[in-house]
Amino acid sequence: MSLTIVQTGEPVLRQQARLLRHNEVRSKEIRQLIEDMKDAMHAAPGVGLAAPQIGKGLQLAVIEDRPEYTKDWTAAQLAERDRRPVPFHVIINPRLTLIGDERVESFEGCLSVDGLMALVPRAKQVRVECLDEKGDAKVIEAAGWYARILQHEIDHLCGTLYIDHMHTRTLMTVENFTKHWKEKTLSETCRLLAIE
């Protein structure tokens, strides 16, 4: 089944998603939902998709950062963003803990805020306690870009979007990001856009 990714303004994106009960996690319906969300995330393409983004107020997200998404990036660009591939996985009923005080800036977009992106400060390291698609307890400790993905998707489950955290003066179209900012370092971008 082809899923529609809802856009900002849909009430479900601003509501707290409900926890899945243990007997729901392994249900046929949730297994199918996970497969459909995976397909929708790949088709978009994106590195994560939370259930509220497809109109379902459930504490469920799928994540995968595929190697082909950064195949044209330089080693310096990957290192600056601390980005490496993340295999496909599911997080259900996650509890997020930020580790340390260090925050890093990076551009984020969102499949539910189509065509726009902005600089967003995020914790450099996180710990996530959750269930996987089998209902087994799982602990994820992540840093860099992976930590950013987790924070972004878990925000969706709490009714929060990246635009709530962004530096407002950096909001731009994806087209202008590609044209003017993509090749600049993050420190240069922050300096030019007067971000402290």
Q: What is the 3-state secondary structure (H, E, C) of 126-146?
A: EEEEEECCCCCEEEEEEEHHH
What CA–CA distance (Å, rounded) separates 135 from 144?
27
pLDDT digits (tens, 9 = 90+) for 84-126: 999 999 999 999 999 999 999 999 999 999 999 999 999 999 9
**173-191 pLDDT per residue, tens:** 999 999 999 889 988 999 9
Top pLDDT among 2 and 190 is at 190
Annotated active-site residue 153? The verdict is yes
pLDDT for 2 equals 80
- Whether 128 and 140 have beta carbons less than 8 Å apart is answered as yes
CA dihedral 182→174→189→8, nearest 10 degrees, is: -140
Task: Scan for tokens 């950096």, then name that residue.
Answer: 170
Sign of CA dihedral 125, 182, 162, 57: negative
Domain boundaries, the chain: 11-192
27 φ/ψ angles, rounded to the nearest 5 degrees: -70, 155
The CATH homologous superfamily to which domain 11-192 belongs is: Peptide deformylase (3.90.45.10)
Per annotation, catalytic residue among 108, 153, 183, 196: 153
Tens digit of each residue's pLDDT (9 = 90 or more) over 31-80: 999 999 999 999 999 999 999 999 999 999 999 999 999 999 889 889 99
Q: What is the residue type of 48?
A: G
